[in-house]
């Protein structure tokens, strides 16, 4: 009997064609005009009800009726990276590249749509093609959040997603219960002194000097103030202050990121950052600190993970189920998982003997991973539709 894997494999050529088409025409977050038009065209041709401009440039395709309502999410955006690969399907857009594999995710989404278009099922399948996973718009919101504002999670009972991962071989998947990506917040701070002539430091309050003490205090938060068993990162990505050798500036600006798995740790870091910056006050200066909340940590739901494992064993075999390594990267799929039971699994995509890292100008993947992703998600969705969460 023909399995779902056979049917996914039969789509191989089409999947590669889609993936390469998206790869050649990458678009940055909230600029996925061509991509979303192409996605909706395919979904319509397959008989899906299609809604465009959800969360600005997102697309939602739906099939079926009533409960259960199961959603699958695929992100579509590229990165501001100049591709260095010399392949026939290399990016045709200067300075923009699919270096995180979202071209593959979108192709997998269309593959899943193709298989589920022929499948009889009870309930509703909602395919979410999401814009801007990699970045926020001018108001600080990424694609998943924007789509949620437009109601994409309404009535959803469970949501699944995948991400390609060069740490694993093609044919392998990795999935784990609990926190699998970090939460992230951004902080913007100013250390305020009083500028003047660099030859007379006694007459000024030097914000660069104050910044040195603040940096030490910030870097001691994780090592001295947090429980060593709770993962956290605080990194300064930008420090700006002064322009000239003989002028002490009035201010120094900081921009940094914080990463955490646990909201209690997040709160503690916020409080500790206030204390670290207040060192500037103790030394005669002042500060302002603004922390902008980003996305939370993805907590993979236990039931969804058990289902993915079960499907993985049935389709790929027990030997092909791996443990993902803990990572402090962030993924805005977390917004969906915060409101409904959800899980994301890693899809092995390694080019054997030629490992390519994501977010690198030479990133590429072994396209044989595409039907694996299609089969996994299509089968998982069918089982969820059949028996609920």
Tokens 């909340």 -> residue: 293
Residues 6+ apart with CB under 8 A from 279: 210, 213, 214, 217
Under rule CB under 5 A, residue 349 binds Zn ion: no
**Which of 157, 39, 153 is CA-nearest to residue 105?**
39
What residue has token string 């044989």? Answer: 368
Q: Residue 60: which residues within 8 A CB-CB, separation 6 or more? A: 50, 51, 54, 126, 127, 128, 129, 147, 152
Shortest reach from residue 284's CB to Zn ion, in Å: 43
Minimum CB distance to Zn ion smaller for 100 or for 127: 100
CB nearer to Zn ion: pick between 46 and 99: 99
To Zn ion, the closest distance from the beta carbon of 164 in angstroms equals 8
Query: Residue 241 or 348: which CB sits closer to Zn ion?
Result: 348
Smallest gap from residue 356 Cβ to Zn ion (A): 13
CB-nearer residue toward Zn ion: 42 or 97? 97
Least gap, CB of 357 to Zn ion (angstroms): 11
Which residue sits closest to Zn ion, CB atoms considered?
A: 100
**Nearest to Zn ion of 135, 195 (CB atom):** 135
CA-to-CA separations, 188 to 90, 210, 382, in angstroms, rounded: 37, 16, 45
Please report where in the chains the tokens 């503690």 appear, as a residue. Answer: 268
Question: Which parts of 56-115 interact with Zn ion (CB under 5 A)?
Answer: 100
Q: Closest separation between CB of residue 349 and Zn ion, Å?
A: 12
Residues 6+ apart with CB under 8 A from 226: 232, 265, 268, 269, 272
Shortest Å, Cβ 102 to Zn ion = 6
Q: Tell which residue, 269, 36, 268, 150, has the closest CA to residue 141.
A: 150
* Complex with Zn ion: residue 100 or 110, whichever CB lies closer: 100
Count of positions on this chain that bind Zn ion (CB under 5 A): 1
End-to-end CA distance of the chain: 27
Residues found near Zn ion in the complex (CB under 5 A): 100
């Amino acid at each position: 009997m023909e399995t779902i894997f056979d049917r996914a494999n039969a789509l191989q050529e089409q999947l590669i064609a889609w993936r390469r088409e998206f790869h050649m025409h990458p678009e940055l977050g909230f600029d996925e005009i061509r991509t979303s038009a192409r996605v909706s065209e395919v979904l319509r041709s397959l008989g899906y009800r299609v809604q465009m401009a959800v969360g600005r440039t997102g697309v939602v395709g739906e099939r079926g009726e009533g409960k259960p309502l199961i959603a699958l999410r695929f992100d579509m955006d590229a990165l501001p990276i100049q591709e260095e690969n010399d392949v026939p399907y290399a990016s045709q857009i200067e300075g923009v590249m699919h270096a995180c594999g979202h071209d593959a995710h979108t192709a997998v989404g269309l593959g899943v749509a193709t298989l589920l278009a022929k499948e009889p099922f009870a309930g509703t399948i909602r395919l979410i093609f999401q814009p801007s996973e990699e970045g926020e718009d001018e108001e600080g919101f990424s694609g998943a959040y924007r789509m949620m504002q437009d109601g994409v999670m309404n009535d959803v009972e469970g949501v699944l997603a995948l991400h390609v991962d060069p740490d694993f071989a093609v044919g392998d998947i990795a999935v784990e219960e609990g926190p699998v990506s970090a939460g992230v917040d951004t902080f913007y701070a100013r250390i305020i002194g009083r500028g003047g002539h660099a030859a007379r430091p006694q007459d000024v309050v030097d914000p660069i000097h104050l910044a040195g003490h603040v940096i030490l205090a910030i870097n001691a938060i994780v090592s001295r103030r947090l429980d060593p068993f709770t993962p956290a990162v605080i990194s300064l990505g930008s420090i700006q202050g002064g322009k000239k050798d003989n002028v002490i500036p009035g201010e120094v600006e900081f921009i940094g990121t914080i990463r955490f798995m646990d909201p209690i740790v997040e709160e503690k870091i916020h409080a500790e950052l206030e204390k670290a910056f207040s060192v500037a006050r103790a030394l005669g200066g002042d500060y302002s600190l603004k922390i902008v909340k980003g996305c939370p940590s993805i907590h993979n739901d236990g039931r969804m993970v058990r289902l993915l494992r079960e499907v993985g064993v049935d389709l790929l075999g027990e030997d092909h189920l791996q443990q993902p390594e803990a990572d402090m990267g962030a993924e805005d799929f977390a917004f969906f998982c915060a409101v409904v039971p959800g899980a994301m699994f890693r899809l092995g995509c390694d080019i054997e003997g030629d490992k390519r890292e994501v977010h690198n100008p030479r990133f590429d993947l072994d396209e044989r991973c595409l039907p694996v992703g299609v089969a996994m998600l299509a089968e998982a969705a069918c089982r969820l539709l059949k028996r609920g969460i």
